[in-house]
Structure 1
Amino acid sequence: MSESPNPLLRATDPPDDFEPGRAGRRRSGGRAWQVLIGGTAVLVLLALGGLAVATLLEDKTSTPPAALPSDQPVVEQSAAANGHDIDSRDTDQSALTVKEVFPNKQLVADDGRPAYQVLKTQAGTDCTAAATGEIGDLLARLGCNQVVRATLRSPDGDHLLTAGLFNLTDAASAQRARDRIRQLLDDRQGRFQGLSAGDGTDAVTTAAARVGWQVRGHYIAYCLVTRADGEQISSSDAKTREILYDMIESYLNRGVLERRANGGVASQPTASPTESTASQSATNGRNSSGN
């Protein structure tokens, strides 16, 4: 896995880590991200962009925050001279395609790592297909005109996940969506929606899950992870944390979006990470807003 700064984590149900335990192999030149982990999990906001992670579980607790040490600086990433600006659709006009985001039936997040099996892909202009309730409405209001997503099976076969990219108008719109999503999840007024890939994959649309989202430029990268057997996912499930990091940071950020930006370079360290929390429950027969 690529080397990346260890984020500062805060847990609300119960203390949890987003750190997948391979910080030594992360690249130090990555863009800073803010990570949010919701009510029953951990939300981390890195100083630039934003990676949020929430747990889709039923109950909330008030477990005191917990922090992990950070042994590397958070760095900001900008476009190189031969790249192009992905902060706005005005300067990044080409639409995403399935071929660009999920080109193969096997997805490798980092060289030498086991492959994820890509079960189904989808590209569309209706962002509410991938985010329901008030979250879907919010994305539409802020100019989301495209979502490209896929449902995958983890290398060990124990987890199903849906991951993808939302295409918003500009970086400011993406950041506003990121900040508002936190509260909507807390209030259970919407959810990220998994993509069913046929028999044996219903869990990705209905089961308790953990979901992460991250902003880079005018894109929101996201991933939700469920157990393949539909059982409630454990807040201490290290494999889930690893999957979220693989898909959002290593693959979508440093893979797909880095290629699109065409050669980002690291600049000076930014301010220290900040923290927040959000929550979202499984559907369990509820409506699309989670009520």
Structure 2
Amino acid sequence: MLTRQALGGPALARQAFARQGLTRQAPPQHRQTRAAAPRRGPQRRAPREPQQALQSLMSGMAALIITSIVGLSAFFIIADERRGHGGDSAAPPPPVSSLAISSRALDDKPLTQGEVFPEQEIRLVSGAAPYQVTMTHIDTDCQIATTGDLGALLAENDCSQVVRAGLTAPFGGYQVTAGIFNLADEGSAALVTDKAGDLVEEGRGSFAAMGGLGSDPLAEPLAQVGWHSRGHFLLYCVIARPDGQLVADDDPYAERITADLVEQYLGETIVAKRAIEP
């Protein structure tokens, strides 16, 4: 569950084929005439024209029905192939296993700066303005990225490393620190995620910012933090306004930044890669 909270303020939890009809015109009727022997009195013609018109109409309707059946059959064949039953269907997405990232014992490859922040920018949508990465840092001392009692809590749950970066958001000029803590297992990550809420709300500990945000968010109570766990990882971000004003709990930019970096980028792009079964 994603948690967002303004430092020094109340806690806020956020979870964050139609086909064209075919028509066929009935063939034109050709009246046949032939010479007849002269008769006395008025001549009467047998009522053949209505029958011919009806037959032509029925023939046209039958042709239209057959054409429609053929067209619908082709449509369902194509649709069936697109669903993956045809020989040219696209390959299915790779399977994802939550078990693969349930513990560091199973997922024993350490995080690296190149894995978590490989580029100088993070572009979540093609053509959209990117987040600019201004600095990156990796450390085996998890307490360096925290303040107060949060560092001790991470140490108790066997945090082995933290990888983080300083970023500038593409909207509002907001300054952000985002990162990943590597814990022993998903139970430990969930426990820290839960207890961090009390620490932040009570002012007894929090996540530290980088660079221009200052090293102690407790001394910068105007910032907002967001965090949640996935597997044996704890993902977080610290957000500050460029004008130094309070980042309110309902700040739309902060909400967007937390969703973009914590949930989508760190959670779905970086950590999820480790959950793909070989």
Tell me how far apart the structure 2 counterparts of residues 110 and 254 of structure 1 sit (CA, whole Å).
13
Pairing 1:104–2:112 present: no
Distance 2:216 2:155 in 1: 21
In structure 2, what is the Cα distance between the partners aligned to 1:149 and 1:104?
13
User: Offset at 1:133?
Assistant: 1.1
Q: Say if 1:81 and 1:205 are closer, same or farther in 2 by CA, change over 3 A.
A: closer
Q: Any conservation in 2 of the 1:110–1:250 contact (CA below 8 Å)?
A: no
User: Secondary structure of 2:248's partner?
Assistant: coil
Out of 134, 137, 143, the position equivalent to 1:128 is: 143
Query: What is the aligned-residue identity percentage?
Result: 35
User: In the alignment, which of 238, 258, 263 is matched to residue 224 of structure 1?
Assistant: 238
What's the TM-score, normalizing by structure 2? 0.65
Q: Distance in 2 between matches of 1:220 and 1:104?
A: 21
Give the deviation of 1:42 after TM superposition. Answer: 1.6
Q: What is the CA distance between 1:43 and its match in structure 2?
A: 1.3
1:35 maps to 3
Match of 1:170 in 2: 185
Provide the residue aligned with 1:24 in structure 2: none
Aligned to 1:235: 249
Aligned to 2:106: 91
CA contact (8 A) 1:159 1:227 kept: yes
Query: Could you say which structure has the larger radius of gyration?
Result: 2
- 2:201 counterpart of 1:186: yes
Matching residue of 2:229: 215
1:187: Cα distance to partner?
1.7
Q: Whole-Å Cα distance in 1 between the matches of residues 271 and 119 of structure 2? A: 17
Report which of the two has the higher share of strand.
Answer: 1
**Structure 1 residue 230: deviation in Å?**
1.9
Structure-2 residue corresponding to 1:70: none
2:95 to 80, 84, 88: 80
Q: CA contact under 8 A between 1:36 and 1:182: conserved in structure 2? A: no
Matched residue SS, 2:270: helix
- How far residue 148 of structure 1 moved from its aligned partner, in angstroms, is 0.1
Which region of structure 1 is more displaced relative to structure 2, 235-244 or 123-132?
Answer: 235-244
- Counterparts of 1:225 and 1:195, CA distance in 2: 11
Q: Deviations over 1:103-146 (max 9, x none)?
A: 01111133343101100000000110111111111001100010
**Correspondences of 1:46-85 after superposition (within 5 Å):** 46=15, 80=95, 85=100
In structure 2, stretches of 5+ residues that fail to align are: 17-93
Instruction: Report the AA paired with residue 40 of structure 1.
Output: P
- How many residues of Structure 1 are paired with residues of Structure 2 in the alignment? 196
Cα RMSD (Å) of the superposition? Answer: 2.4
Q: Could you list the runs of 5+ residues in structure 1 that have no partner in the other structure?
A: 1-32, 52-78, 265-291
TM-score normalised by length of structure 1: 0.62
Return the alpha-carbon distance in structure 1 between the equivalents of residues 185 and 250 of structure 2: 35
Q: Match of 1:152?
A: 167
Task: Report the AA paired with residue 205 of structure 2.
Answer: G
**Aligned partners of 1:160 and 1:82: how far apart in 2?**
34
Change (3 A) 1:204 1:153: farther
Matched with 2:258 is 244
Q: CA-to-partner distance for each residue in 1:1-40, whole Å, 9 max, x for gaps?
A: xxxxxxxxxxxxxxxxxxxxxxxxxxxxxxxx34354643
Q: For each residue in 1:49-96, what CA deviation from the matched residue of structure 2 results, as whole angstroms up to 9, or x when unmatched?
A: xx7xxxxxxxxxxxxxxxxxxxxxxxxxxx937897111011100000
Mapping 1:271-286, distance limit 5 Å: none
The CA distance in 2 between the partners of 1:42 and 1:239, in whole Å, is: 15
More helix by share: 2
Q: Which has the higher contact order (CA 8 A, sep 6+)?
A: 1
Amino acid of the structure 2 residue aligned with 1:241: E
